[in-house]
Amino acid sequence: MNNTPKKISGTNAIQLFQIARYGALILTSVLLTKTGIDTSVIGHYENFILLAGTLSFFWVNGLTHTFLSVYNQHENKRKVIGQTAIIVIAMSICVALCMLIFRAPLTTLFAFDDTGNVFYLLLCYFIFNNISFLLDYMLLARNNVKGLLWLSAYHLVFQTALIALPAFYFGSFETIITGLLIFTGCKFIITVFFLLRNNEYKPDKAFIIMYLQKAAPLIIAFFLGGMSIYVDGIIVNNYYDKATFATYQYGAREFPLSLLLANALSASMILKIGQDNTAFGEVKKASLTLIHRLFPVGIVLLIVSQWVYPVIFNATFSESFIYFNIYMLLLIPRLLFPHSILLGLNQQKTILMASVVEFTLNIALSLTLLQFMGLQGIALGTVIAFVVNKTILLITLNKQGIPPSAYIPLKQLSTYSVILVIVFILFTYVV
């Protein structure tokens, strides 16, 4: 048993970790704008992160969510960790080799600044970062609250310092990336240390095949569903210059608290539904808590965003609040958890189908609305596509005899949603 604080559950710990991890990203973004470095340098840094994330987010998420499901059901926990590590490491190396082989078309597609050793730094970051994700989910699966809290502090302090300090003292793109690599490399070493502690690493072909069969629908679903944010970045990157891209990226980010807390809660609920496939009341209760916490904060941010953005960042990013406000609308569907129930019930194919619809609709709407609304149209297309995704999942569960009222606090969600939309219209287009 872990010697952990009694008042902090595994769910709360993973939520705190997610807040710390993304809090470090946001704080870093703010500090970069205060360094006085050129906006195009920030754009190149954001593009570096975009390229690495685009090529890894879907299969990393698919494999780690499969890990939670398999770990919960399999008797030999050490074997699950060891085999998952083998799969993630192998995938990271294989994708990195493909990136090297297709270097020219890849850098052209992303308008990536392929000068000096930047591409090789990208490959190192790509491998270290993807393997390091194992640490987050391994601590969650083992309910290691103390470990998650220490990891939260590590992200918040060292990720911020190792990226921001080089920017302040040297102001170059290369030194910023070097700081990022030092942070990621240290976490990679910590991950390896935990992985080597009595886990089973002899490859089990049958287990790996079973694992990949479970993960495949999720990998595709995460690719299609999660690709929305990356598709937006690619479209902006190809239609506008790097300064405009940076302005858009600093605004077109989902409200961090909703994304982090919802994703952490979702991971926790997958484990609970896997243990008890009728635990819908727990999903409803947990989501109600998030609704009461997040909607008031979201509404206040919509009201003040147009004045706060130029202060937190600088005048160059004054228009970024518009894209932030549009993405704030994602708070409504984000606090719906039909996907968690479906994953807990091992219905990955439904999630895959909804993700196919979302991906197709997002590209079509973003490119179409771009012609009429400019950058706002790209962001709005993403919001609409995500709402459609969640609607499909809700309808699917309802047909299976699981109505939305069983796991969604409909009255509270509806009331907050109406207020949020009204405030969005007033403080984005009227005031």
pLDDT of 5: 44
pLDDT over threshold 90, residue 260: no
pTM: 0.70
- Asked which of 53-57, 135-139, 266-270, 406-410 is least confident by mean pLDDT, the reply is 266-270
Q: Provide the token pair at 96.
A: 């990195």
Residue 366 domain-assigned (yes or no): yes
Q: What is the pLDDT of residue 417?
A: 96
Could you list the residue range(s) of the whole structural domain that residue 387 is in?
Answer: 226-431
Residue 218 included in any domain: no
Q: Do 337 and 188 fall within a single domain?
A: no
The amino acid occupying position 215 is: A
Average pLDDT over residues 206-216: 90
- On the question of pLDDT at 201 being above 50, the answer is yes
Specify the pLDDT at position 164: 83
pLDDT of residue 4: 45
131 and 173, same domain (yes or no): yes
- Residue that terminates a domain, selected from 144, 170, 203: 203
Residue 3 lies in a domain: no
pLDDT of 44 above 60: yes
Which residue is listed with tokens 């409504």? 332
The total domain count for the chain is 2
For the cut 70, the answer to whether the pLDDT of residue 364 exceeds it is: yes
Q: Determine the Cα–Cα distance for residues 296 and 306; give it in Å rounded to an integer.
A: 17
Identify whether 217 is part of a domain: no
Question: Do 35 and 168 fall into the same domain?
Answer: yes
What is the structure's pLDDT at 419?
A: 96
In a domain, 241, yes or no: yes
pLDDT band at 117 (very low <50, low <70, confident <90, very high): confident
Task: List the structure tokens of 353.
Answer: 């189908």
- Single out the residue in 171, 203, 235 at which a domain terminates: 203
Specify if 219 maps to a domain. no
Q: How deeply is 75 buried, as exposed, middle or buried, from its count of CB atoms within 10 A (0-12, 13-18, 19+)?
A: exposed
- Tell me the backbone φ, ψ of residue 254, rounded to 5 degrees: -65, 145
Average pLDDT of the segment spanning 312-333: 85
At residue 396 the predicted structure's pLDDT band, cuts being 50, 70 and 90, is: very high
Query: Is the model's pLDDT at 314 over the cut of 90?
Result: no
State whether 260 and 186 are in the same domain: no
CA distance 192 to 74: 22
* pLDDT classification of 228: cutoffs 50, 70, 90: low
Answer yes or no: do 417 and 285 share one domain: yes
More confident position, 294 or 226: 294
Both 231 and 98 in one domain: the answer is no
Tell which phi-psi region holds residue 116, choosing left (phi > 0), alpha (psi between -120 and 50) or beta. Answer: left
Q: Calculate what percentage of the chain has a pLDDT beyond 70.
A: 94
Residues 176 and 270 in one domain: no
190 and 260 both lie in a single domain: no
Identify whether residues 234 and 144 lie together within a single domain. Answer: no
pLDDT at 12: 75
H-state helical runs in 196-319 = 205-239, 242-251, 256-275, 280-312
Residues 188 and 307 in one domain: no
Same structural domain, 302 and 417: yes
pLDDT surpasses 90 at 393: yes
Residue 420: which of 320, 296, 306 has the closest Cα?
296
Q: Over range 272-285, report the average pLDDT.
A: 75
Average pLDDT over residues 359-372: 89
In the predicted model, what is the mean pLDDT of the chain?
Answer: 84
Which residue is it, tokens 């090297």? Answer: 100
Residues 230 and 192 both lie in one domain: no
C-alpha span between 13 and 268 (Å, rounded): 11
Share of the chain above pLDDT 90, in %: 30
Structural domain contains residue 313: yes
Could you tell me if residue 160 is inside a domain? yes
Cβ–Cβ < 8 Å for 386, 358: yes
